[in-house]
Structure 1
Amino acid sequence: MSKSYVEVQGVLHVHSHHSDGSGSVAEVLGAAQRAGVDFVVLTDHNTMRAKQEGWEGWHGSTLLIVGEEVSTRAGHCLAVGTSSSILRRRPVEEIIQDIRAQGGLSFIAHPYGVYKPFLRRRDHSWKDWGINSYTGLEIWSYMFDWARQFKYYRWSECVRDPDRLIVGPDPQTLSRWDALGRRARVVGIGGVDAHARRYPLIDVVIFPYEDLFRTVRTHVLLDGPLTGDAAADRDSILRALGAGRCFASYDHLSAGDGFCFSAPAQHLLMGDEAAFSHDLDLVVASPVPAAFRLIRDGLQYGEAEGRRHVFRADGPGVYRVEARLNGRPWIFTNPIYLRG
């Protein structure tokens, strides 16, 4: 790429004691700073009280962005970048429109969030795919990835070593994302859905914030460096997120910093759209050797291994990259859209 970008990484979909999380906002921020993330998007259920209390902004090395997780009739939607809380008891389309009118971004949370840890099936999935005005999808939800594999009779094992249960984004979510991308840009993000559940009877916190903040992160490519001005930096991150200039990375395996998917000849980066006019090189670069899969319109188009590879796009399509380390899911980029 002839233009250089500044990469920041953060965690999205976090709950505090303002809804059903266990920690205070200060505790969330302390965990984020210890985990070394650049920003945190707090999304308590149906409240922006943390913003009203003045928490949004820089706290040491971490920027806190306050949004909310809106409980709608169709499912849960993350509203990020809004100025006030969203009224939720109304049609879903109106909710999405309100988020947009406030200059915010809307992401469908855990789109296929269904799991059955014992006898009872729990369904937190999105129910209305006829609506298409949202910004994007939470393509990888760490807690729902874990919950799909969790069984009560394996409680100790599942909680002691949660990494063993992580298998990557739900295939149904990826399939839906690929299908949606054929009509318009639909941004994919990673989320942790952090609650840090506290069990006072046994004096333990399950999935502490700091541990979760070291797992699935969203890496964002900015036009320039962060400045220390909270409002300007928040807007810079949200602009890049809205444009899809980001990727989800399971940083517990290896830091995804420096990973890139681009089409240098046309100065295209993940999230960009352009008309396809001739064959085009798509370049994948990784900070460590990995196994790459190039996906076009939902189907595998090519594969390679190493730290860098050039794929050849010979037709229009929605192209994205999946990367694995030792067979484990690691990075899922947003697409480059080459329209026919």
Structure 2
Amino acid sequence: MQEITVNLHNHSSFSRGEQKYHSLAQAGLTAGIDVLIVTDANVYVSGKEQYYYRDERRLLLLTGEEVFRSFPNDTGHMLILNGGREMANQADTPQQLINFCSQWEGLTIIAHPFDGLTEREVLTANREGLISGRADSARSPLNSPWVNWEIQNFTGIEILNLQSEYKTAGQRRRFGLSDFFIRSTGVDRLTHASLAALQKWDEFLTAGRRVAAYCGSACVNFAQWAAGRRLEILDESHLFAAAKNHLYLSEPLSGDLESDRANIYRSLKLGRGFVSIDWFRPTDGFVFKADTAMGTVYPGDRAALDAGATIKIEIPTEKSVCRLIHQGKILREWENVRSIPLIANRPGYYRVEVYIPYRFQLRGWIYTNPIYFY
């Protein structure tokens, strides 16, 4: 089992971003990630997938698409991975888009489902017709939350989107003088994954639906203007290092583009891994797995519940709060415990959240995808 790091939901100069593909790849190498997935807005850019090498590191750059309808109003964004073709012409019919992608083993991920807002705020805005026509409008009270929750069979949702959380924190906290001097201020504003997205995710899981969780960067204009100068709060390398999808692969990456792409998307589709805000602390040494009579299973796996099924959690820090979520409720909570064994005696899904202190505040650090017992 190989663990790799993946950053998805990014934009190049082909759409909303400012950097070319080569520059994004170099930023990814600086950040130390293994895979970078660029999803340009309503355009699929072919011919850009390749390995990049620098010093003793390598990075695989893959391309997808972020599909949305911008007129007459924005009803939400969906990431398409492993589609292999442009899908923007199906933005008006999300269920048809999902069905079409499924035929090609594509992944369909709802991006920033609440865009930093609560579910109540989204519903209120929908009723009052406040959905913005432009998702990047800084003045909009509501940018681009997902609207149609009647859809079925999509792959997953973003429980954390850096731009969404940064933008929302910026609206609720004024940009101050200290931001001139604290480069990390963009990430320091983060406190946890989207609570509304976590709640919606648990609703799906409790209803028996397989929905995976991801984080995205959406690297667009992480900057502020002050005194007539544009201040870069977070460049791409900081963004790529800040929050990551940690992915478990059954087979290690070989360096072959075709086989590695299939390997990565297979694990991403199953949700075999966890989301983390690595800016707070590296996650090296974190483990969430279960030992069963049939072998060891990891997040995203399904297993028969047997008498000896044992959940194991390893936390690489002395100071933490660890929550084990079962069927949408906190089953157990531990403080400052590094190694946790627990017998699983109920069917259903189990997932883990870990919180750690950072700059005098308890913050969400790790959110695993579930292990499913039946």
Q: Which residue in 1 is equivalent to 2:216?
A: 191
Displacement of 1:242 in angstroms is: 0.9
Between the two proteins, the alignment pairs up a number of residues equal to: 332
* 1-structure distance, mates of 2:167, 2:68: 20
Q: Which residue in 1 is equivalent to 2:188?
A: 164
Displacement of 1:128 in angstroms is: 0.9
Q: Which residue in 2 is equivalent to 1:296?
A: 326
Q: Name the Cα RMSD after superposition.
A: 2.3
Deviations 1:267-290 (Å, cap 9, x if unpaired)? 221111234354732111233333
1:247 aligns with 2:263: no
Q: Which residue in 1 is equivalent to 2:239?
A: 212
1:55 aligns with 2:61: no
In structure 2, do the counterparts of structure 1 residues 59 and 118 end up closer, same or farther at CA, with 3 Å as the change threshold? closer
Q: 1:34 aligns with which of 23, 30, 35?
A: 30
Contact persistence 2:274–2:368 (CA under 8 A): yes
Q: Which residue in 2 is equivalent to 1:271?
A: 300
Displacement of 1:329 in angstroms is: 1.1
Contact persistence 1:295–1:321 (CA under 8 A): yes
In structure 2, do the counterparts of structure 1 residues 173 and 14 end up closer, same or farther at CA, with 3 Å as the change threshold? same
Contact persistence 1:219–1:257 (CA under 8 A): no
Deviations 1:171-197 (Å, cap 9, x if unpaired)? 111111111113121111111111245
Instruction: Read off the aligned partner of 1:224 and give its amino acid letter.
Output: E
Deviations 1:218-261 (Å, cap 9, x if unpaired)? 00000121111011111111111111111001111122233221
Deviations 1:105-156 (Å, cap 9, x if unpaired)? 1110011115599974123111111112100111111222222222387224
* 2-structure distance, mates of 1:277, 1:270: 18
* 1-structure distance, mates of 2:327, 2:304: 15
Instruction: Read off the aligned partner of 1:25 and give its amino acid letter.
Output: Y
1:173 aligns with 2:204: no
1:218-233 matched pairs, under 5 angstroms: 218-233=245-260
1:126 aligns with 2:146: yes
SS in structure 2 opposite 1:129? coil
Instruction: Read off the aligned partner of 2:168 and give its amino acid letter.
Output: R
Instruction: Read off the aligned partner of 1:22 and give its amino acid letter.
Output: E
1:67-106 matched pairs, under 5 angstroms: 67-72=64-69, 74-86=75-87, 87-106=89-108
Contact persistence 2:79–2:109 (CA under 8 A): yes
SS in structure 1 opposite 2:165? helix
SS in structure 2 opposite 1:139? strand
Instruction: Read off the aligned partner of 1:6 and give its amino acid letter.
Output: Q
Contact persistence 2:116–2:165 (CA under 8 A): no
Displacement of 1:323 in angstroms is: 0.8
TM-score by length of 1: 0.90
Displacement of 1:69 in angstroms is: 0.6
* 1-structure distance, mates of 2:368, 2:313: 10
Q: Which runs of 5+ in 2 are unaligned?
A: 122-136
In structure 2, do the counterparts of structure 1 residues 282 and 122 end up closer, same or farther at CA, with 3 Å as the change threshold? same
SS in structure 2 opposite 1:99? helix
* 1-structure distance, mates of 2:314, 2:245: 17
Q: Which runs of 5+ in 1 are unaligned?
A: none
1:334 aligns with 2:353: no
Contact persistence 1:11–1:191 (CA under 8 A): yes
Contact persistence 1:114–1:123 (CA under 8 A): no
TM-score by length of 2: 0.82
What percentage of residue pairs aligned between the two structures are identical? 29
Deviations 1:161-217 (Å, cap 9, x if unpaired)? 123310111111111111111312111111111124578962544431111111110
244-253 or 262-271, which deviates more? 262-271
